[in-house]
């Protein structure tokens, strides 16, 4: 019998080692398979500088898109939707561009009953972040009442960037507000570690308190 060897290993040993290696490669480390994919759900709609997508949770199956320039648009949660409506337009109050603008939206947990929603936007002269409450129009569920604005707080901003802007209600019913560190670069004023300023913090406020 002809026997070919490779150094200390026979051809059979080499073959077996190759089989074991390939089996380990494909069984232990199978090719990665993507578990998700992206799809343009609303192909007939377009928005100007959108910064967030929100659901009012009022049983009407509608969605809202926040546009940085100062508008909130509302439309049915239907891929065949062909148009959106202006729910709120405060562009005349908002200074936008770069990291400035209408940056956050949160619907009150009891929005179906009280119609309250909250926004985070930047305003000029002086430059500041404004947290406000609005109410939906009692006559039109697709439109907010502009005259209903109640300002909850205002925070001066030393620079035009790092404004944060995220709003969200927690399971405790409190409104959480994300403030950036005030801007520039590297937090030059150390706001993130300074407990005497709201900058660089996450706030938790009770919007239902009478105080």
Q: What is the pLDDT of residues 74-108, one digit of tens each?
A: 999 999 999 999 999 999 999 999 999 999 999 99
The span from the CA of 158 to the CA of 119, in Å, is: 21
User: Which pLDDT score is estimated for 17?
Assistant: 65
The span from the CA of 34 to the CA of 23, in Å, is: 22
DSSP 63: E
Beta bridge partners of residue 64, listed in sequence order: 54, 74
- Which tokens go with 12? 């059979």
pTM: 0.81
Sign of CA dihedral 103, 137, 173, 132: positive
Share of the chain above pLDDT 70, in %: 83
Sheet with strand 62-67: strands edge to edge: 50-54, 62-67, 71-76, 85-89
As a whole number, mean pLDDT of residues 171-180 equals: 96
With a cut of 90, say whether residue 22 has pLDDT above it.
no
Angle in degrees, CA 96, 57, 95, rounded to 5? 5
Angle in degrees, CA 138, 140, 143, rounded to 5? 105
> How much of the chain is helix, strand and coil, in % rounded to 5?
10, 35, 55
The span from the CA of 170 to the CA of 121, in Å, is: 20
125-146 tens-digit pLDDT? 999 999 999 999 999 999 999 9
* 102 touches 72 (CB < 8 A): yes
């Amino acid at each position: 019998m002809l026997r070919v060897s490779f150094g200390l290993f026979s051809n059979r040993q080499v073959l077996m080692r190759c089989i074991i290696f390939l089996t380990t490669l494909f069984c232990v480390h199978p090719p990665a398979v993507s578990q998700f994919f992206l799809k343009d759900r609303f192909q007939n709609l377009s928005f100007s500088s959108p910064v967030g997508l929100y659901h009012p949770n009022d049983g009407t199956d509608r969605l809202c898109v926040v546009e940085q320039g100062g508008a909130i648009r509302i439309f049915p949660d239907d891929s065949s939707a062909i148009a959106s409506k202006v729910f709120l337009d405060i562009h005349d109050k908002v200074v936008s561009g770069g990291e400035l603008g209408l940056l956050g939206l949160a619907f009150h947990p009891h929005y179906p009953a009280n119609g309250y929603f909250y926004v985070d936007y930047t305003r000029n002269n002086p430059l500041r972040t404004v947290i406000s409450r609005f109410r939906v129009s009692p006559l039109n569920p697709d439109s907010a009442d502009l005259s209903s604005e109640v300002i909850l707080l205002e925070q001066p901003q030393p620079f035009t960037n790092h404004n944060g802007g995220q709003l969200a209600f927690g399971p405790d019913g409190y409104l959480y507000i994300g403030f950036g560190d005030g801007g520039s670069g590297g937090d030059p004023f150390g706001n993130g570690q300074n407990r005497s300023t709201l900058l660089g913090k996450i706030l938790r406020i009770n919007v239902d308190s009478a105080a």
